[in-house]
Structures are given as C-alpha cells and as structure tokens.
Structure 1
Amino acid sequence: MNTDIEDEVTRWRAETPGCRNVVHLNNAGSSLPPSPVLDAVTRHLRLEAEYGGYEAADAAAGALEQVYASIGTLIGADAAEVALVENATRAWDMAFYSIPFAPGDRVLTCVSEYASNYLAFLQLRDSRGVEIVVVPDDDAGEIDLDALARAASHERTRLIAITHIPTNGGVVNPAAEVGRIARENGVLYLLDACQSVGQLEVDVDAIGCDFLSATGRKFLRGPRGTGFLYARAATTADLHPPLIDLHAATWVTRDSYELRPDARRFENWESYVAGRLGLGAAADYALAIGLDRIETRVVALAARLRAMLTEIPGITVYDKGRRPSGIVTFAHDRLRAQRISGRLREQRVNTSYAKASSTRLDHERRGLPELVRASVHYFTTDGELEELTRALRKMIDEDS
C-alpha cells in the first residue's frame, strides 16, 4: 500500500468510530457509519428534542431537499427521480407492486434472486396468475444473457427483475447488458442494487433500468431505517403506487385526487428525518472519496482475502463471477458457518452467515452449505484481513 493511500485509510478510519472497537467485515449487512453521518443524525435528533419534530423538520427543509440531489448525483439520476423510503425492500416493493400485471404476464429473474423479492413473485403468481421465469446462470455464475434475451422476446414478458449483487456471494450481474436487452424488447427493468450502491460505480443511465432500489445501511454507510428508490421519469410516470397518502397525492375534490408527478409519489408523509439527513451525509461522503476509487480498493481487498482464505486447510471459497465484488463467502468442511461467525464476533471480528432461505434457488442449484460472509470496505486494512485468518486458523486448530 503506497503512502498516499495509507494516509487516506488512516483518515477514513479516524473518521469511523467503530474502527476503534471491532474488525468490521460485515459491510454487506450493515457498515460502520462515518462521523459526518453520525453527526447529521444526532444533530437533528437533538434539534427535535429541543424544539419539536415538525419544527426541526421545517428548519432542515433545505438540507432535506439536498439529500435528493446527493442521491441523484450518486447514481446519475435527476433529483426528481429519487424517492426516499424506509429501506431497500420497501423501495423494491413500491416499484414492483405499482406494475399492473395481468394473468399470464411473465416476470424474468435470476437464480440468485433475494428471498424478499422472490416471495413477492410467488405472491403475485398466486393472486394474479403471474408466471415466474428463472433465467439460468452462465458458466461464470452470472445471469446468462443469451437465455435472458430469448426469454425477454416472449410477448407476455412484462418485467425483468434481478439482483445486482447477490447476498450470498461475490457475483456482480451484468446490469448494463440486462438493461440493453430490456430496452430492445420494451420490457420494464427493476434492479435490486442493495449490495452494490456504495461499493461500485452505479449509473442508472448506463444500466438502463426503470427502477432501482437501494439501502442506506450497507456499503453506503448510512443509518439503518433508510433507503431509496430510483424511478425513471420517462417510463414510470404512469405507474400508480400500491399505497398512497396525503404526501404521495393531493385530495383535490371530494371524489378525486392527483398523484405527485415526481418519484416522491412512492414515498409516504411520515419519515425518519434524522435518518434521511444521515443518508444524504453518507452519499456526500462516498462522492467525496469517489466511487471509482472505492470500487477499485474494495475489489482488490476482497481478492486478497479470497487468496488468504484458500490457504487455510478445510476452507472453501464459494464466490463466482468474472470480477467478484467485496462480498467474500466461504465454509469450513467441519465447522458450521453460524458457529464460525459467532465465535469470530466474540473476538470482535464481525462477519455474518448466509442461510439457504435467503437465496434458496442458488443454494439448491449449487448444493451450497451455510456460508460465512466476510464483506470488506475501503477502510478495511490488510492487518484486519490477517486478524480474521489468524482467528480462523486458531479456531480450526482448537476444533481438530
């Protein structure tokens, strides 16, 4: 690591209070917020306590508007195409359930689709007769683009809905190529970017998606209880949100209402104002570093960790993909993933574990065990990677 990046890592870690307490390799679950995020949230909570919630929100009106602009800059969108919501699943649901599916309409998805999304597919299969089409993976573990193109050309295909980076591995699905296929076939495209925003460069125009859902708490390093939805104005303006209130719409006469013309029709009135301000601070913090630089460092650290893990007897790394992300998944041939993750946490090394129920199709297809998930970020150090592998070696030796 050269001197310049060493200095920056030192600064990033100094601005991250949690780095003093833990080795945090659970950024795909919930990352450590930097001080500007913490300050934005606590400052507003203090303002609410001292002057009242409504009054504090009025005082922060300008800063709240800036959050939309910051998120738009982060993903290459117009601020009017951004809705701020409680979490990524809420964002995804508001998009998905706004589509007026008819019996026989087809939804195309990927093998590694996340459980919450697939459960929604199943619900509409049962309630509206929607057909779920799972597009197979290619040899690299990414969605097979040729198979997707064939499926998308079917006259009843209504939506392509895939996860950009699965929760259970390092694969990065080719989002822009999927977008090209969607456009060529006049099909709506919903991208779950929950694990990609904040660790990779994400540009909605380059990707070509109609909707994109994301969270604040993961690689973006924002507060829990925050997320956002991107809704492309040119293709989603006529879609009616599944739920509306007096923020999403205006009650204009006794028997009529008008929806907001922008993406905020997917929001609701009551919100976590302090969290939204923290989300904006997180977006600004990432933008100041540069998403290209973040991606380069995260990918390199994850590759280093995979190489280190493969040298430990009994450990198998399960990540696939042509250029894997910052999520690293592995298992031991004797010790269960949940036990490994729990024992690491006792040593203040944070990881998580991936269960079959989170990505059932992929787990069953590949015959995966439960996986330990270690997810790096740009503030991760080589020393922390070594601390993880030392702890694993010691754990395995003690169990033998």
Structure 2
Amino acid sequence: MSQRTADEVREPTHPGSPVGLPALDVERARRETPGTLRVAHLNNAGAALPPLPVTEAVVAHLHRESESGGYEAAAAAGDQIAGTYTSIARLIGARIEEIAVVENATRAWDMAFYAMSFEPGDRILAARSAEYASNVIALLQVAARTGAVVEFVDDDEHGQLSVADLRRRLNDPAGPIKLIAMTHVPTHGGLVNPAEQVGALAREAGVPFLLDACQSIGQLPIDVDRIGCDLLSATGRKFLRGPRGTGFLYVRASILDRLEPPFLDLHAATWTAPDRYVIRPDARRFESWETNYATKIGLGAAVDYALSWGLPAIEARVTALADRLRTRLNSVDGVQVRDRGLRRCGIVTFTVDGVSAHDVQRSLSGRRVNTSVSLVEHARLDLPARGLPDLVRASVHYYNTDDELDQLIDALPTPRPIRSGAGR
C-alpha cells in the first residue's frame, strides 16, 4: 500500500492508534470531501461521502460520453477501466484475472452462490447472527429448490461466529458440506467475525468459503490469502467511498472452473459455433457486457484513494472514533449501545429508551446528523433473540470528527420511561 509523505500525515492525536502508525490528516480528508461542510455524515455503512477524485472521475467520463459517444468514450478510457481491476486486485491481494466488477455486493454474492451446484442433503454453513437478509433469502431459496440444508453456526460468548461450533459441524458426518458462507461485518452491529480462523478451518476441510465483505471493505485491511476465502463480495458505495451501483467479486483461480454463472451473455462467454459456446476463463465470466463505465472508473478512483491513505491507518482512526462514540453514548442516561463482538469496527448501534429508532433518526436528521435504522426484519436470527427492537445505526469514517460525535449526542431525543413489559 502507498506510503504517505511527511507533509501528508500528522503524529497520532487520538487514543487507540498503534504505536508508530501516523494518524490521518483529517483536515485534508475533509477538504477533499465537500459534503462535510453540510452534514455530520455518520451513515457510512449506508453510503459514504465520496471524495473529490471519485466525483471528478465519474463526471469526467460522463462528459466524455456526451461529447464523443458511449462506445467511443469507453474505448478512449480503456486504460482507466483496466486500472480499476488492477487497483481492486491490489486492495485485496488478488490477481487481476480473479476480479469481476458488477453492479453491487448483493449481485456479486448471488453470482458466486448461484454458480454452485447443490444436491439433496448437501450442507451449507452460515453465520447465525451476522448474516445479511438478502444472503439468507438466497440460502433458503436454494435449499427449497435443491434439498440442500442450511445450518446456522452458533454464536460464541461475544456474539461472533463460534469457531468451536464451526469446527464441530465440519467434523459432523451428517452429510457433505458444500459451502461456508459468512458475513464479515454485519449490517446491524459493530462486531468483526473471525474470518481468518474460519478460512483456516475451511482450507483444512477443503470446503469453499464465501465471505461477504460488504461492510468491511474500505474500513479494514483485507487480504484474501491471509483470510483464506475462495470467494469475496464487496460494494463500492460504503466505506470504500465509491459511487453507488458498483461492487466487485473475487473468485480464487483454483475454484473458478468449478463455477458456472447462473446466466451468461456475449461478454461472459463466446459463441463458438451454432450449437456451442465457451465460457471465458477468468472471473469476468460473472460480468455482463453492458456496464456503467463512468462509475466503474469512479470505483477505481475510490480504491486508489483508499490505498493512498493506507488501510491500516484508516482502520486505526475508524476504530478509535467508533470506540469514542460508544463511550459517549453509554454515558447518556436511557441510551444503550447494542454492539457485540470481541473485535469491533466503525458501526455503532444503539437504542434510546421509549423512542423508536425511526424517531431517533428523524430527530438526528433534523439537526443535520445522518444515521440509519437497522430493522428487526433484516436481522431475524439476532435482534428478536436478544429481545431488541429496530436499532439506530451510526457509522463513522476517517473524515468524521469528535465535534460530529458531540453533535450526535446533543441531537438525541430525550429518553422516555419504558412501559411495563415493553421489550428493551
């Protein structure tokens, strides 16, 4: 990853920075993020504010299309488009031919999952509390179609996927295990699942490992070899700070030929004879021919921008800011932080006694503080089991400041007495 020059960094000024790791130049990051002048944007797990280089890259290509035509503009921008694949590969420690750029993280995850073959009795292991709702729906659909069985691995005492229970299930002779699917960071909480430990068990058992990195890419360093995943899905719009409608899929070269995409077009395959076709040999078999080249270029710009700061430095600042926000929230009577996990990241979820999450969000929005709501219906294996309602979700990034954390605290509605028997 790129090294920062001396005039681009400052000595650590916040607690939690690893020794020897310089803090980010927050003032520069905010200058390059115009939205920080208008809002306290604490909804980065939804969609982060893009930096100027990303916006400029997208707009420049749109102008190119308007002046020369879409096909011609794409041809002229060939090096930039190719550079997006190079940058993504560098970001996650992969090879260029292992990267497909698609519309979003869900499409990336679905293209990988639906490319696999399942038979009656095949077992699919997934994380119980962390799984994303769209992933669970896909798991249940395929199980109903094929007779495969979905098993949700228990949580450990910290709320993370239990490595011990995963090991037990991998050694259980009940039936062949065809896939381990795990969400790295849940959308509704700040925990970070133990991806490297899961990857080690998956390699030992010879079971493919699909990692949903939608909420971790851009805020945590990701190395697919260190993690040991065979497939990884990610988005551009969240902590990576790229355009909406962008995402990517990583497919390890050693597993590629075992996967046939659920649908093909003339980009994913070549029509070689009237009755034959050949699927392309790289991960771009999971793409389609028509794509948004402006946002694809913008995604590459976002990856380059993140690499220029350095992911370890980003993680240090994001983690420290989130820890400080949890401390501030816990100091307010009637406010409870709901995050679990031994290792936590930039997502912070909480409740305010007697006030619905939507009302809290509206109150914060009225004071120009952006947050989101994590719905019970999107976390049916976690929040109901803990007796929790919808949660307020605040998610920090390195361009956020302590003043913005205080702005959130000051904008919270007053807690109200909870009626007897009401859930917490």
TM band (smaller chain) = over 0.9
- Secondary structure at the residue paired with 1:109? strand
Aligned to 1:271: 291
Aligned to 1:169: 189
Structure 1: distance between partners of 2:24 and 2:297: 28
Structure 2: distance between partners of 1:49 and 1:399: 58
In the alignment, structure 1 residue 85 sits paired with structure 2 residue 120:
no
Letter matched to residue 13 of structure 2 = N
User: Deviation per CA, 1:169-222, whole angstroms, max 9, x where unpaired?
Assistant: 001000010001111111110000000000001100001111000000000000
Extract structure 1 runs of 4+ deviating beyond 6 A: 3-7, 397-400
Aligned to 1:319: 339
What are the residue-to-residue correspondences of 1:96-245 with 2, within 5 Å? 96-111=113-128, 112-153=130-171, 154=173, 155-245=175-265
Q: CA deviation at 1:6?
A: 7.9
In the alignment, structure 1 residue 43 sits paired with structure 2 residue 60:
yes
Structure 2: distance between partners of 1:366 and 1:236: 39
In the alignment, structure 1 residue 25 sits paired with structure 2 residue 42:
yes
- Secondary structure at the residue paired with 2:100? strand
Q: Which of 323, 348, 357 is matched with 1:328 structurally?
A: 348
Contact 1:37 1:222 in 2 (8 A): yes
Structure 2: distance between partners of 1:370 and 1:361: 13
Greater displacement, 80-89 / 144-153: 144-153
Structure 2: distance between partners of 1:119 and 1:178: 22
Q: CA deviation at 1:103?
A: 1.3
- Secondary structure at the residue paired with 1:107? strand
Unaligned runs of 5+ in 1: none
Aligned to 2:281: 261
In the alignment, structure 1 residue 291 sits paired with structure 2 residue 308:
no
Greater displacement, 208-217 / 234-243: 234-243
- Secondary structure at the residue paired with 2:291? coil
Q: Which of 339, 353, 359 is matched with 1:339 structurally?
A: 359
Structure 1: distance between partners of 2:207 and 2:323: 35
Structure ranking higher in helix proportion: 1
Structure 1: distance between partners of 2:254 and 2:62: 37
Structure 2: distance between partners of 1:211 and 1:357: 27
Unaligned runs of 5+ in 2: 1-11, 15-20, 419-424
Aligned to 1:55: 72
Contact 1:302 1:326 in 2 (8 A): yes
- Secondary structure at the residue paired with 1:313? coil
Matched residue count: 398
Q: TM-score, length-normalised on structure 2?
A: 0.92
User: Deviation per CA, 1:68-99, whole angstroms, max 9, x where unpaired?
Assistant: 01000111101110000000000000000000
Aligned to 1:304: 324
Q: CA deviation at 1:371?
A: 0.4
Q: Which of 248, 251, 268 is matched with 1:248 structurally?
A: 268
Structure 2: distance between partners of 1:341 and 1:334: 14
Structural RMSD (CA): 1.6
Contact 1:109 1:162 in 2 (8 A): yes
Contact 1:91 1:227 in 2 (8 A): yes
Q: TM-score, length-normalised on structure 1?
A: 0.97
In the alignment, structure 1 residue 34 sits paired with structure 2 residue 51:
yes
Structure 2: distance between partners of 1:65 and 1:336: 47
User: Deviation per CA, 1:83-139, whole angstroms, max 9, x where unpaired?
Assistant: 000000000000000001111111100112110000001101111111010001000
